[in-house]
Amino acid sequence: MQHSLVRKEVLPFLLMFFSLIVATVIADALLHQFELVWIGRYLGIPGTILILLSFFYSMRKRKLISFGKPKNLLTLHETLTWLGALMILVHAGIHVYAILPWLALIAMMVNVISGMTGKYLLDRSRRYLAEKKQGYAEQGLSDDDIEKKLFWDATTFDLMKKWRSVHLPITLAFAVLGLTHILSIFLFWQWK
Q: Is 43 in the site for ligand HEM (CB under 6 A)?
A: no
From 2-10, 30-38, 127-135, 163-171, span contacting ligand HEM (CB under 6 A): 163-171
Q: Is 149 in the site for ligand HEM (CB under 6 A)?
A: no
Q: Which is nearer to ligand HEM, 27 or 87 (CB)?
A: 87
CB of 6 to ligand HEM, least distance (A): 19
Among 62, 63, 95, 192, binds ligand HEM (CB under 6 A): 62
Q: Is 51 in the site for ligand HEM (CB under 6 A)?
A: yes
Burial letters for 147-159: b for 16+ Cβ neighbours within 10 Å, e otherwise? eebbbebbbebee
Q: Which is nearer to ligand HEM, 90 or 108 (CB)?
A: 108
Nearest-angstrom CA–CA distance, 28 and 36: 9
CB of 156 to ligand HEM, least distance (A): 8
Q: Is 87 in the site for ligand HEM (CB under 6 A)?
A: no
Binding site for ligand HEM (CB under 6 A): 16, 51, 58, 61-62, 74, 77-78, 81-82, 85, 108, 111-112, 115-116, 118-119, 122, 155, 160, 164, 167-168, 171, 174
